[in-house]
Structure 1
Amino acid sequence: MSIVPMCYETQFFGFTPQTCVLRLYISFQDYLFDMLLVVESVILKKIEKFPNCGINRSEVRQSTEKYLTFVNERFNQLFQRMEKCLLKMVLNVPRNVLLPEDKVHADCLYSKEKFDSLQSEMSSLQVQYKAECLASQALLAELEEQNVVQAELGKILTWFDSMDKICREHGNIDLMESFAFMVQTSKKLQGTVKKIDIKHKKLKLDVTCKKAI
């Protein structure tokens, strides 16, 4: 049995040619063995009609086995020739023949320089892809943070709305006006505190100067 790999033939037929030949060999062997058993049974029936012929069943079996060995040797010699014929002529795809799915390789020939160029371009694209993935992750993180801030702002606006509603229900002025008034008052208080602080520092400076005199 040939052990030469026939990958292209396997791709075309869907099975290895060696497997096909082996199955044929086993089928012929089984058929030969079955045929000799039939012949042996016929001989035994003939012997039963002649009880004084001097041939017993064991002698018939020995003869059958010898004949099987002889025929099997001749069959193996013939099958070796048939195997070569099958593998070289019947189950062989010529080297100048391309399968339909491989014809694209004949139409798209490329050199080593072109291959190296494609490899370099692919590496550059991989770097760009990784950079875009990182940028996308950063944008997603920022978007998530903005969503959190927006949710917090929504809570604050809801709180302002509820406070404004409560103020209106109790006859108070508008809440936004109240906050604006508070802001103005706070600014005035800050200005007054600054003036007082300046006067205090000036007064403290005068007292120090008088003590020095």
Structure 2
Amino acid sequence: MFAGIRVSPQSWWGNNSRMASNQGESSATGLHPLTDRKEYETQYFGFTPKSFVDGVYNAMVEYLSDFVEVTHKYFLDDERFKEQISVEALQESSNRLFVHLRDAFDKAFDRLENYLMKNIFHIPSGIVLPEDKVHMSDPVTESMDQKLDNELEELREKIRNAQYVNCRLQKWLQDVDSVQHVLDSLLAQLQKWQMVCRESNVTDLGETISFVADRTRQLLTQCNAMKATQAERNNNVKGSRYVPVKLQ
């Protein structure tokens, strides 16, 4: 109901002047870059003090609005006040009450904000957090920087070697997959042959193959002998054939 007349924290607190003062303080410290006051405050508390204060302000203004809205609804619904005050006058009075409460709250909250920023959320310029003391007590020298560069180069070389090994392993895995595919195909054929043998009542496949091979060799020997006999007969027939002789 009263959301339309609420004022954002930035328009009431003079945000620009506070930012300028904080920046001036940070630049005047002359410490390590990590000791920037705003960054330090966020690093230590885990949130920016400005966002915390803005959140508290918005919550309080919302509570004020809810209070005025409930009060307005109470007078609007009560039968005793319907004849004594009109709806328009009640609305105007509610708006004036909200503005009065908000103005009084803004003045009080300004004092609270100044106290929080100066005494609670402010980290003095001479304070260095424990995690940043190493940057001041043990600064990085040129030799340390060169050593770090050498270590980085060694790590890059190890990464390149590892990538090469990975490529070789991937190629080897592809070859293994191809061999496995061939073996699976041979195994499937062998299982098929075993099934055929079982259906044909062949108990020992090895003996059967040996027997068939022997019989095949015997048949080949007989065929070769028959071919030799037939060739010999053909030669005999050619030798006894009559050849006419021409008379002169």
TM-score (norm 1): 0.48
Larger relative contact order (Cα-Cα within 8 Å, sequence gap ≥ 6)? 2
